[in-house]
Chains A and B, each alone.
Chain A
Amino acid sequence: MSTPIASHAGRPAARATFDWLFVVAALLVVATFIRAIYFTPVEALQGPAQKIYYVHPPSAWVAFLAFGIVAVASIGYLWMKDLRLDRLAESSAEVGVVFTTITLMTGSLWGKPIWGTWWTWDARLTSTLFLWFIYVGYLILRGAIEEPGMRARYSAVLGILGSLLIPFIHLSVYLFRTLHPMPIIGKPSKPSLPNDMLETFLMAFFSFTVLYAALLRARYRLATDQAALEAEEGR
């Protein structure tokens, strides 16, 4: 006999109202772009292409955060069998894939002028691409299984296993000889950036994190409505 699953899908879905969090997130991201473009100095050696730094590492941070939340929600699901946690994991995985896509694309755009190539099979880049494939696979797996309990269980396992790659990706620049630059912040010593650049960098981290929260909330509401529809059509 399968374990009973709490779906909470019968409850009416959240109202489609004006989303203030989206507006705040959009304003913060626009403010970050304006500060990065007009009020942050150009780095002398790399030139204007260095300004990709204000979108590339923050996107990578949000992708890691999103997949970390997938892992935590998936562990929670396997423990409590609450489908709300499964929906949270699904929502976070989709948003994480979007941010990982941006990380890979902006990294490539930085690599061309600085390294002279769009892509290199370096440990950091390759493992990030692998992470992207894992979570795209996670979303495909979810689409392939109809039974909600089985879908949640299988995808929880994949969601947890995929997240094990995150510390490896972060440490890959220390473990291997890579072309990828060392961390500027998130390292034991002080951040190696002038204050003007550091403030823009931190602002970008904050605004992208708020954007993640807004997208996650919207995507979770969609997942709740989808579950209610599945329950309604199953009656």
Chain B
Amino acid sequence: MIPNNAGYYHAAYIIVAVVHIGYATSIWMRRRSVRARLAAARTERRPLR
């Protein structure tokens, strides 16, 4: 008889999806924040005409 343990593999697949989506989102958010700071720093440095 095949053991009934599908819950473990469902949990594993959900963890894989959540961790990857979370990590990709964290890269996207960090990059957005860095680019905003970079743009602000460059605007600040630009001499007034």
A contacts, CB < 8 Å to B: 13, 16, 22, 29, 33, 36-37, 42, 44, 46-52, 55-56, 59, 95, 98, 101-102, 105-106, 109-110, 112-113, 211, 215, 218-219, 221-222, 225-226, 228-229, 232-233, 235
Contact = CB atoms under 8 A, between A and B. Distances in A.
Contacts of A44: 2
A48 B4 CA distance: 7
Given A37-B13, A55-B16, A16 B35 contact: yes
Contact of B38 (A46, A55, A98, A228): A228
B23 A55 contact: no
Contacts of A113: 3, 5, 8
Contacts, number: 99
Given A55-B13, A229-B37, A229-B38, A110 B45 contact: no
Interface of B: 2-6, 8-9, 11-13, 15-17, 19-20, 23-24, 27-28, 30-32, 34-35, 37-38, 41-42, 45
24 contacts: A13-B35, A16-B31, A22-B24, A33-B13, A37-B13, A44-B2, A47-B2, A47-B3, A47-B5, A48-B5, A48-B6, A98-B23, A106-B12, A106-B16, A110-B12, A211-B20, A215-B23, A215-B27, A226-B34, A228-B38, A229-B34, A232-B38, A232-B41, A232-B45
